[in-house]
Structures are given as C-alpha cells and as structure tokens.
Chains A and B, each alone.
Chain A
Amino acid sequence: MNEAFSIKKYLRDLKLPFCPGCGAFTVINAFLRAVHELGYKDLRNFVFCSGIGCSSWIPSPYFLADSIHTPHGRSIPVATGVKLVRPDLNVVVFGGDGDIVGIGLSHFVHAARRNLDVLVIMVNNMVYGMTGGQVAPTTPLKAKTTTTPYGNFEYPLDAVKLAVTAGANYAARWTTAHQNELKETLKKALRFKGFRFIEVVSQCPTAFGRRVGFKNAGEMVKWFRENSIKLEQAEKLSEEYLVAKIVVGEFVERSRPTLTENIYATIMEAQRIGQN
C-alpha cells in the first residue's frame, strides 16, 4: 500500500460549500480515496466537468485539478470536446440528477450511445436542491416537493437502466450508505474504458429529507441502507415490491470499443486514403 490517505493534497485551500449532512461529503471522500488507492499522487491527469447544481460544485473549483463548470446540463458535451482532443486524459463528470437526466438527458443518452470515454458520477438526491427543493425526474411518486405540494404525480426515471440500454460500458448504483462499495466501484470504473456511469443515491436533508419525514441526514442514510436491495436479489422480486426500494450493484460491464478508439481509427483511415 502506498502512503497514508490525505484528502487535502487533492483539494484547493477553500471551504467546501455544502450543508451539514450533505451526501456530497461522502461522494468526495469515496472518489478521492479511490484515486488515492489507485496510486494517483495528484489529479494532474484528470479533467473534471460539471454543470449546475450542488453536486456540480464537488470538483469546481474545490478539486486541485483542471475543472470546467459548464452551463446547466452541458457538462457531457463539454467533456466530449475535451476527451476527443485529449484522449490521454481522464475525463470525469460530476452532476446531480436534474443536471444529468433532467436538462442534460439527451446528452447523457447520446454519450452512452457513442460510448464516450468518460466517467459520469451522478449524485441523485431526488430533488432540485440548489433552488430549494423542486420536483426532479428522479423524485419518487407521491413525494411532496415545493412544486408538487400535493405530492408528485410523475414516475421517477431509472438512470442506470437507461445508461445500460443506451450502450454504456459500465453502470452501477450505490447509495451514500455504501461507502466501501462506492469506493470500490469508483476504482473499477476509473480503470475501465468507454462510457461509465455511477449513480449515487444521496441525501439532501435541507431541501428534501425534512419535507418527506426525515428528521436528519443520518435517518436518511439509515433508510437508504435498510431499503437497498442488491441487483441479484432484486431480479427475483416483483416490480411492485421494488417501487419503494433502491436496487444497488453493478448493472453492466462490457468492453465495446470506445468513441475515441473509433474516431481515431477513422482519422487514421482518412489519412491512409488521402495518401493513396
């Protein structure tokens, strides 16, 4: 094992902006521990892209690294440009559920379809937290939010299943109650090629938890732990039963050639044709 983990060497000397009890702290910890355990002494070879929302502030500007904080929902297109020009860099996208599968949904699906070589980490707190707790595409049916005061009348989106269907090379879901599994999944995803998607179900005690009956962040994390079901078990259970559960685990793992591989093969071919 290499030297002891010190989170500070990966962070700028700035105060993190998150509320007490926010799931972002768990995500930051898991991600930087994964980076450390993979032997990266700094974030020099990483580029972080993020959109708008609380979890988009995870890397920007707090990670001591290159970070591009884009308009709402546009982190994946910007990451596409970065990766295609610099295939040698590790491009990682952080975003919330509203950012990635609300306003940015089309980019998410197409990046998975292209098998764009980026890791997308979606922190799903089931709500628009930064704007004060409005309904999101991931909000459970009947949940009360500030824009669904009588309860949500829409069904939530399963972003992991969508990523699998669209063509991601790797997709997994954990919650902030699964710190070790999350870290291990991040390590695996960081070594993988192609489109990698990790959803982290996370607590927003400020703008969501207290409105749906949780007294504090700890209660939410406890609920996540008690209501998570491993994918292998979930496959044997009915859809009705799973409505109020969180299915966790690795949903897909494959090695389709990536967008960068395909595009650079095309460039080589175009140049070969040009020479003949």
Chain B
Amino acid sequence: MGLVRSGVYFWQGSEACAEAALVVGCRFFAGYPITPATEIAEHLAKRLPQVGGVAIQMEDEIASLGAVIGASWAGVKAMTATSGPGFSLMQENIGYAFMTETPCVIVDVQRVGPSTGQATKCAQGDVMQSRWGTHGDYSAIVLSPNSVQEMFDLTIRAFNLAEKYRTPVVLLSDEVVAHMREKVVVPPIETLEIVNRRKPKPGDTAFFGFEEVPPMPAVGEGFNVAVTGSTHDEYGVRFTADPFVHRRLVERLNGKIQNHVDEIVEVEYFNVEKCDVGIVAYGCTSRAVYDVVEEAKAKGVTIGFLRLKTLWPFPDKIVKRLAETAGKIIVPEMNLRQVYYEVKRASEGKADVVSLNKIGGGELITPEELLEKIFGEVRRG
C-alpha cells in the first residue's frame, strides 16, 4: 500500500499525523516509546517501509532526534514523535537543528508534567518549553492542532515550514487531540502545497549564510558540506570566539523566522471586530469554545474568539486587535498560565486579561466552566 488516497477517513489523531507525514514526503522516522505518542511510532513503523522509507526505534529520545537530523542531512524529510519527558531529552538536538539549519519535525503529544507526571493524561504544559526549551538565543516555530483534521493539515504545514525556513518545527499536540477519532478529509494529493528545501547549484560552497535561508545540500552529493553546532561562518568553518561571526549567524537564524511572522502565523477567529468578551485558546481546550459561543450569544454576550494554530512565533498583532475591541480576554488553558502572560504582553494594556486554568487528571475545561467564567467576568464588568 502506497500513500493514502484522497477521500474521507475516520482516523485517530496520531494516524492522521502519520499519514500526512507520508503524503508530504517524510521517509524517515526515529523514535522512542512514550505515552501518549507511541501510536505515531507504531503507525509509521508499519507504513514507512511500505513506501520505501525507514522507521527505527532508537535507544532514547536524544538518539531519536539525532538520527532524524542525520537523515535530514542525507537528503530526506524526517520526523520524530514524543511527549514531555522525551521532549525534554530532545532539547539538546533541537538547538543543534536550529543552529545547523536542519529541517525536521518534532511532534510533542503533551501529557501531564512536570517529570513523569501523569503519563496517560492530557495537559498543555509544554507551551513555554516548546519556545524556550533549548539554551541560547533561538526562535521556534510551533503549531497547535485542535482536531484530527488538523493533525493531518498541520503536520503537512510543519514539514513545509521546516523545509522553507530550514529549521526544526514542533507540532505541539496533546493527548486528547492525538487520541481521539474524527472525520478527516484528505484532498487530492496534487492539490496540496508541498514545499521542498532549496538545493544548491553545482559549485556552490556557502550553505550557512549570505542569504536569509541558504540552499541545503545533502551529504554524498559532492559539496563537501561542513555541518557544525558551534558558531560557524557561511562555509561552515568554526569560529568559537569571534563576536562578529556569532552575531551575524545568530541574528540571521532568528531573523529568518522573526522577519516572516505574518507568513508563519495562522489563526482561526470570529467576532474579533465586535464582541463583548474575547477568548484566546488553542489545542484541545479550544474545542469547548465553539460550544459556548451560541449559548452566550443567546444570553446577549458576543464572544470574540481567537484560536492559535500557531503558538510560536506568537500572533501578537491579532491578539492586540482583539484586546482593543473586547476590552476583556479570557485565556483558558490546561496549565498554570503559560499563554496567559503572552496574551497580556501582546494586549499592551488594552484589555483586562484573565486566566482560566485547570491541571491534572487530564480533566478538560468544560463548556459549563467556560460559560460560568464568561458570565462572571461580564457581571464584574
């Protein structure tokens, strides 16, 4: 069996992610078993060989992302999937992939932390880790799906962004979205936008600069590419003490993401221009919002809804717009205020930002709890 055909499927989130990876051209997976991300590894272990790709279980998550990076430099699209504890182990190689401009996709199916926490239970506690988890000055691209359809769509987008900007991209899912089953529409493959890394021309020698996103050769193509996580010049030669070379490199690496925020950021929103109260949500938690919009409306409260499909870079502009119109923004999340402070920062004081938090046991924020919060805040004025 080759790639999935266009049609309507009833899939688990993990399965949608794995099938999307195959469609977008991923031909290498390395991972380590971890709840609740194991299904992605299992599905790809079965499916990748069928399309001529390699799936391997490594000795830990450090080795998993290491192998993915090696595969990417060998010329194929590659990914791994994990959850919090494994995501922690991967931080070293995430920084390495950023510094070496290695396209790859890391799926983090969030569970309750810190540490081993509650392995089978849903949470949203890795938002800040996905942005700041590795050391040094870096920028992250992190996408947040809230449905099985988006596990498919955003996996494709994650690869496209990784290839376009030559950088690691995190698909920050959660236990609920990765484990639930829903309808997925797979469009005809030829209608999908699929981005491939730009290759060098014969004779090219600079693969780490001079352009915002330099061309990327593969090993074994005769380019004598020198890859290093140490500070390096445009040719990959190490400069371990030169301040100028370091600034030039790291400012470009951050700039290639920060200068393209508008292209990278995707949000879903409605009533942002006219509302009584705003809600900023993402991932599994955002699913409750659709339920409450109608009910609130019936009771005379218009909700301006902003759903973050891209968590990083943070969608500052539209958050600020919502803050200006809503005056009050509720941020429900299954952590102790991780996106809340970002909304507050982006609001620039134009809205009263309040949080609604719930952690532990995988208990979701219910529509009832949201409604109670909404009406409580409306009453308080």
Contacts and interface: CB of A to CB of B under 8 A. Distances in A.
A74 B100 CA distance: 14
A26 interface: no
B223 interface: yes
A86 B224 contact: no
Contact of B219 (A61, A64, A89, A106): A89
23 contacts: A61-B237, A66-B223, A67-B225, A68-B219, A69-B226, A69-B230, A71-B96, A74-B92, A77-B58, A77-B62, A77-B64, A80-B58, A81-B28, A81-B30, A81-B71, A82-B73, A85-B71, A85-B75, A86-B74, A266-B49, A267-B49, A270-B46, A271-B52
Contacts of B223: 66
B227 interface: yes
A14 B235 CA distance: 13
A70 B66 contact: yes
Interface string A142-185: 00000000000000000000000000000000000000000000
Given A65-B224, A80-B63, A110-B59, A85 B69 contact: no
A61 B226 contact: yes
A86 B229 CA distance: 22
A79 B226 CA distance: 14
Contact of B72 (A14, A44, A81): A81
Interface in B225-277: 225-230, 236-238
B58 to A, nearest CB: 7
B277 to A, nearest CB: 47
A79 B76 CA distance: 14
A79 B70 contact: yes
- What 4 pairs between A and B have smallest CB-CB spacing? A81-B70, A77-B66, A270-B49, A85-B74
Nearest to A79: B70
B23 interface: no
Contacts of A204: none
Interface string B321-332: 000000000000
B371 interface: no
Nearest to A49: B70
Which of A60, A61, A110 has the most chain B CB atoms closer than 10 A to its own CB?
A61
Contacts of A78: 66-67, 69-70, 73
Interface of B: 1-2, 27-28, 30, 46, 49-50, 52-54, 56, 58-60, 62-76, 78, 92-93, 95-96, 218-220, 222-230, 236-238
Nearest to A14: B237
B240 to A, nearest CB: 10
Contact of A60 (B49, B53, B75, B226): B226
A251 B78 CA distance: 36
Contacts of B228: 60-61, 68-69
Contacts of A245: none
Contact of A66 (B30, B63, B225): B225
Nearest to A114: B56
A86 B67 CA distance: 13
Nearest to A106: B59
B301 to A, nearest CB: 52
Which of B92, B219, B236 has the most chain A CB atoms closer than 10 A to its own CB?
B219
Contacts of A74: 62-63, 66, 92-93, 96
A270 B45 CA distance: 10
A240 interface: no
Nearest to A271: B50
A81 B220 contact: no
Contacts of A89: 74, 219-220
Which of B54, B59, B70, B93 has the most chain A CB atoms closer than 10 A to its own CB?
B70
A271 B49 contact: yes
Given A89-B74, A110-B59, 18 more contacts: A44-B222, A49-B70, A66-B225, A69-B226, A71-B229, A77-B64, A78-B67, A80-B66, A80-B70, A84-B56, A85-B70, A85-B71, A86-B220, A89-B220, A107-B63, A110-B63, A263-B56, A270-B49
A217 interface: no
Interface in A236-276: 263, 266-267, 269-271, 274
A164 B72 CA distance: 30
Contacts of A80: 30, 56, 58, 63, 66-67, 70
A41 B59 CA distance: 37
Nearest to B218: A86
Nearest to B46: A270
